[in-house]
């Protein structure tokens, strides 16, 4: 994406901004888009002519079909490609880019083994018009800070805030009703993730948060194939993205600036950045980039976790009993009719280590949800020399695509793979790739798991949950994920989470 429209957009938004800021805004927008790709997994592009004799079979389809199917129906496209070619690897052209789709144990091992397969190179090429904006050094520095924010001391300190954020959102629901699973759970996890990675001045303001969430949504949902391949064409999606990035940038920057210019110190991530003498630009980027990396995925897995538990009274009851057991271990009693403050206070007394190690059923539920509701496709570029994989050669410069579902829905690993059954994970040692592979394991795992546990405990202690269909009838089976929806993995059919206050 180019940045020549940035000044126009900013002027039209009547925002007062000087030339230097314009330049940094352009650089930041560029950086965010590339960062967002690295973690939210936009679609990849590589321009390298494919020349090798031991080629994986070519999938026969038109260029337009390849672009459309790969971007819009990736799960079906990959599954059908393997079926059609009868091979564990096949290749196709994505306009001028060569992509090798891989599957099976050979495909999975390749991603683990081959150090030349680079995630970042991939997204640099995706955003071909802005290749110089990505700063490896800065991203590594962000990751170090992210790990630091997830240290035991900091996460322990954050627990009461996280619980309160969660209850604050739940309070707006009333004592019974229906929830849209696609928005209600993400609304909560977004605030919680922001609490740890951002400024308390922002996270305390629910109205501002909901505007920010809207802009983040635009950034990670409005990619269109045309804008990836023809970045110089400004379609509506590109303009929306630019508008959202501009708003995010200006908003976060104003909070950073205010704090630096004598605003009240708060015990948050922003203060830690200021205390470590980071520049205004670095802090602004950090505060936008990290939520982009983690909020959506936490919301997606979180919503499926709650949907599966709402569909399965047995597991919901196991988990509820486990949480109640934790409370009694620490001699914490809940009043009969617990309100927001009672619940926050009670659950806050459970130490981080107990949340992390004493909820085995909830751990299984989270792992099983990540297995079944994460339609992520890992995309890499081979930045090293050609290498062999099985009978094929993966040429230097080619893209590699591997769908996680190839492992997680594989009947040879998991019997009846689309059934949500946390107990299956007790049975044998089975491959788990939910947090990624090799060098690119998720860097926000500890925060994501804690967020999902606090959310689940808060909901199960407060409500009875069930799933209802479009006609508001109780669903006999859990909803089915749309695996072609790589980003938000919405249910195939319309459904709602029905909640009823447990004491009403
Ligand atoms: C349930 C929630 C989450 C899931 C399922 C998840 C999953 C993943 C996966 C599968 C990858 C690797 C992608 C690949 O190899 O192509 C990844 C990378 C990453 N995740 Fe998460 N993630 C979650 C939450 C978070 C959170 C809360 C953060 C905090 C900011 C975060 C930060 C990152 C970062 C920075 C990377 C890039 C790692 C790298 O480039 O080496 N994630 N995540």
Task: Report pLDDT for 125.
Answer: 43
- Whose alpha carbon is nearest atom 16 of ligand 1? 378
DSSP, collapsed to helix, strand or coil, labels residue 443 as coil
For residues 347, 351, 356, 361, the Cα torsion angle rounded to the nearest 10 degrees is -40
Give a yes or no: residue 422 inside a domain: no
Q: How far is CA 494 from CA 249, 383, 419, 490, in A?
A: 35, 43, 19, 9
Give a yes or no: residue 417 inside a domain: no
Give a yes or no: residue 428 inside a domain: no
**Segments forming the whole domain that contains residue 250:** 6-260+270-412+436-501
- 380 vs 394: CA distance, rounded Å: 12
Whether the Cβ atoms of residue 322 and residue 361 lie closer than 8 Å to each other: yes
Ligand 1 geometric centre to CA of 192 (Å): 16
Ligand 1 geometric centre to CA of 442 (Å): 4
pLDDT in tens, the chain (504 residues): 222 333 333 333 333 344 444 445 555 555 555 555 444 433 333 344 444 568 999 998 888 888 889 888 999 999 999 999 999 999 998 877 899 999 999 999 998 899 899 887 766 544 433 344 457 788 899 999 999 999 999 999 999 999 999 999 999 999 999 999 999 999 999 999 999 999 999 999 999 999 999 999 988 775 556 655 565 566 777 788 889 999 999 999 999 999 999 999 999 999 999 999 999 999 999 999 999 889 999 999 999 999 999 999 999 999 999 999 999 999 998 877 777 888 999 999 999 999 999 999 999 999 999 999 999 999 899 999 999 999 999 999 999 999 999 999 999 989 999 999 999 998 777 777 899 988 889 999 999 999 999 999 999 999 999 999 999 999 999 999 999 998 899 999 999 999 999 875
Pocket test for ligand 1, best of 293, 399, 435 (most atoms within 8 A of CB): 293
442 is in an annotated binding site: yes
Q: How far, rounded to the nearest angstrom, does the alpha carbon of residue 328 sit from its chain's CA centroid?
A: 34
Task: Report pLDDT for 2.
Answer: 28
- 84 vs 90: CA distance, rounded Å: 9
Atom number, ligand 1, closest to the C-alpha of residue 370 = 5
Task: Report pLDDT for 1.
Answer: 28
- Give the pair of three-digit tokens for residue 1: 């994406």
Give a yes or no: residue 427 inside a domain: no
pLDDT tens readout for residues 225-254: 665 556 556 677 778 888 999 999 999 999
Nearest to 188 by CA among 455, 495, 5, 462: 455
- Give the pair of three-digit tokens for residue 266: 């708060």
Ligand 1 geometric centre to CA of 106 (Å): 23
Task: Report pLDDT for 283.
Answer: 96
Ligand 1 geometric centre to CA of 438 (Å): 13
- Give the pair of three-digit tokens for residue 406: 């190839």
| pTM greater than the 0.95 cutoff | no
- Give the pair of three-digit tokens for residue 13: 């938004």
Task: Report pLDDT for 72.
Answer: 87
Atom number, ligand 1, closest to the C-alpha of residue 377 = 16
Give a yes or no: residue 444 inside a domain: yes
Task: Report pLDDT for 28.
Answer: 57
Helix axes 152-171, 340-348, angle to 10 degrees: 160
- 265 vs 141: CA distance, rounded Å: 23
Atom number, ligand 1, closest to the C-alpha of residue 380 = 16
Task: Report pLDDT for 220.
Answer: 77
| Residues lining ligand 1, Cβ inside 6 A | 38-39, 119, 143, 146, 193, 290, 293-294, 297-298, 301, 370, 374, 376, 378, 434-437, 440, 442-444, 447-448
The residue written with tokens 């085995």 in the block is 360
Ligand 1 geometric centre to CA of 417 (Å): 23
Kindly report the CATH number assigned to the domain that includes residue 13: 1.10.630.10
> Domain total for the chain?
1
- The beta strand positions in 356-483, using DSSP E, are 377-382, 387-389, 392-394, 399-403, 463-469
Residues 6+ apart with CB under 8 A from 236: none
Q: Judging by beta carbons within 10 Å of its beta carbon (0-12, 13-18, 19+), is residue 107 exposed, middle or buried? A: buried
DSSP, collapsed to helix, strand or coil, labels residue 269 as helix
Ligand 1 geometric centre to CA of 448 (Å): 9
Strand partners, 101: 90, 401
* Backbone phi and psi for residue 225, each to the nearest 5 degrees, phi listed first: -50, -40
Give a yes or no: residue 353 inside a domain: yes
Give a yes or no: residue 404 inside a domain: yes
Nearest to 201 by CA among 283, 123, 124: 283
The residue written with tokens 């429209």 in the block is 5
For residues 402, 482, 72, 30, the Cα torsion angle rounded to the nearest 10 degrees is -70
Give a yes or no: residue 426 inside a domain: no
């Amino acid at each position: 994406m180019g940045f020549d429209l940035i000044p126009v957009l900013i002027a039209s938004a009547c925002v007062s901004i000087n030339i230097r800021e314009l330049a940094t805004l352009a650089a930041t927008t560029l950086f965010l888009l590339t960062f967002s790709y690295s973690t939210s997994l936009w679609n990849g592009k590589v321009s390298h002519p494919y020349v090798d004799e031991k080629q994986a079979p070519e999938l026969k389809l038109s260029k337009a079909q390849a672009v459309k199917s790969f971007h819009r129906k990736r799960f079906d496209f990959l599954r059908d490609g393997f079926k059609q070619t009868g091979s564990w690897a096949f290749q196709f052209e994505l306009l001028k880019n060569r992509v090798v789709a891989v599957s099976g144990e050979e495909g999975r091992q390749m991603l683990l083994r081959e150090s030349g397969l680079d995630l970042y190179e991939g997204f640099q090429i995706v955003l071909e018009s802005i290749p110089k904006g990505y700063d490896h050094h800065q991203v590594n520095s962000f990751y170090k800070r992210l790990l630091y924010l997830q240290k035991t001391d900091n996460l322990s300190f954050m627990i009461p805030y996280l619980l309160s954020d969660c209850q604050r959102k739940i309070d707006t629901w009333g004592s019974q009703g229906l929830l849209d699973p696609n928005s209600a759970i993400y609304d909560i996890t977004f605030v919680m993730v922001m609490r740890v990675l951002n400024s308390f001045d922002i996270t305390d303001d629910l109205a501002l948060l909901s505007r920010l969430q809207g802009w983040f949504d635009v950034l990670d949902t409005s990619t269109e194939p045309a804008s990836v391949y023809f970045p110089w064409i400004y379609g509506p999606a590109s303009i929306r993205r630019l508008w959202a990035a501009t708003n995010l940038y200006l908003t976060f920057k104003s909070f950073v600036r205010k704090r630096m210019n004598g605003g009240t110190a708060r015990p948050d991530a922003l203060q830690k950045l200021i205390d470590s003498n980071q520049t205004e630009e670095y802090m602004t980027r950090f505060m936008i980039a990290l939520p982009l990396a983690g909020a959506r995925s936490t919301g997606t897995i979180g919503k499926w976790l709650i949907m599966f538990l709402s569909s399965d009274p047995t597991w919901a009851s196991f988990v509820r009993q486990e949480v109640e057991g934790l409370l009694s271990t620490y001699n914490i009693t809940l009043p009969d009719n617990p309100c927001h403050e009672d619940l926050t206070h009670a659950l806050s007394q459970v130490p981080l280590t107990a949340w992390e190690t004493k909820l085995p059923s909830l751990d299984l539920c989270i792992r099983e949800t990540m297995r079944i509701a994460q339609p992520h496709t890992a995309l890499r570029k081979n930045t090293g020399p050609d290498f062999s994989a099985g009978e094929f050669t993966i040429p230097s410069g080619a893209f590699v695509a591997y769908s996680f579902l190839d492992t997680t829905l594989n009947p040879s690993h998991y019997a009846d793979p689309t059934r949500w059954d946390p107990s299956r994970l007790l049975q044998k040692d089975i491959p788990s790739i939910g947090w990624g592979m090799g060098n690119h394991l998720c860097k926000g795992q500890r925060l994501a798991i804690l967020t999902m546990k606090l959310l689940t405990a808060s909901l199960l202690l407060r409500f009875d949950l069930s799933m209802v269909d479009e006609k508001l009838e109780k669903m006999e089976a859990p909803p089915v994920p749309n695996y072609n929806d790589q980003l938000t993995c919405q249910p195939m059919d319309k459904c709602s989470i029905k909640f009823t206050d447990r004491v009403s």
